[in-house]
Amino acid sequence: MEQMILLWVLSTCLSAVHAQSFLLSSKWVPAGHREREGRGDETVMDKIIKTNEFHANRIIDGTTTLREGDIAVSAGRRSRVCFARSCLWTKSVDGHVYIAYTLSPEYTNIETQLITKGMEKIEDDTCVRFVPRTHQRDYIDIQPKSGCWSYLGSRGGRQTLSLQNPDCMELGVIAHEFMHALGFVHEQSRFDRDNYVTIMWPKIWRDRLRNFEKFKTENLDLPYDYGSIMHFGMYSYSMDGEPTIVPKNNKNIKLGQALSLSHIDKLKINKLYQCTVSDD
């Protein structure tokens, strides 16, 4: 009897060691993220997925959930399609769109500088300007909560934009979340996306299939942008390390961006907000 108990204890200990080794293994990554050693093609969305799968619950609170990996949606609110004028930020008489923000004091000076530079990525060659809040009713409250996420467009009043530190402290990630705050969905959510990419449904984690829905969005008469900072990476939410999104005409086309907005991303902002900035 004592020998049986001893064997059971030994077996339990070995199982625990094995489980710990698996969890700590460099080969283990969260659902939705695929490590691609040596290729250096990790996109902004890859980084966001990796951070959010580790840290952010898909239910932010009792009434707010994360959809498509990083878009916050509150129950009873208009969800993701935000090309109606009602959810855009107000344009000033001088032709600029001034978006007020507050910044958590929990950020370090270096992190504050990075967030500022991320906002500048949006401002360059567009009419959008981010300004520290003084008295404005509508504003973005930037907080280091769990994960990288934003609401879609202007909701009215204070709205949170989460940039967890240090995981979300990258220029491309910051710019991506501010693009959501401006009202832009992910590029592959476009209603006409099936003309340009193939979604490999069997390769996607079953509980992440909703992240690949498409919606009747206003495409602003601009071409599909494989290189948009808002495009999922080729391996987003892959179950087995195989591609989940494949370009139709040229499989060698790179999806998404790693650092900054594409030229078409800038054109989208200018068209949506009717900027007078030159498109050149």
How far apart are alpha carbons 175 and 165 in whole angstroms?
15
Q: What is the pLDDT of residue 37?
A: 43
Residue, of 115 and 6, whose pLDDT is higher: 115
| pLDDT tens digits, one per residue of 37-55 | 444 578 999 999 999 988 8
Share of the chain above pLDDT 70, in %: 81
Q: What angle do CA 36, 200, 205 make, to 5 degrees?
A: 70
In the chain, domain spans: 51-74+81-186
- Residue 177 annotated in active site: yes
Three-state DSSP class for residue 172: helix
Please state the pTM of the whole predicted model.
0.84
* Whole-number pLDDT of residue 228: 97
Write out the binding residues.
Answer: 176, 180, 186
Domain 51-74+81-186 fold:
Collagenase (Catalytic Domain) (3.40.390)
Catalytic residue among 42, 53, 111, 177: 177
Annotated binding site for Zn(2+): 176, 180, 186
Judged against a pLDDT cut of 70, whether residue 19 lies above it is answered with no
All residues at 6 or more sequence positions from 255 whose CB lies less than 8 Å from its CB, including other chains: 43, 197, 226, 227, 231, 232, 233, 234, 245, 247
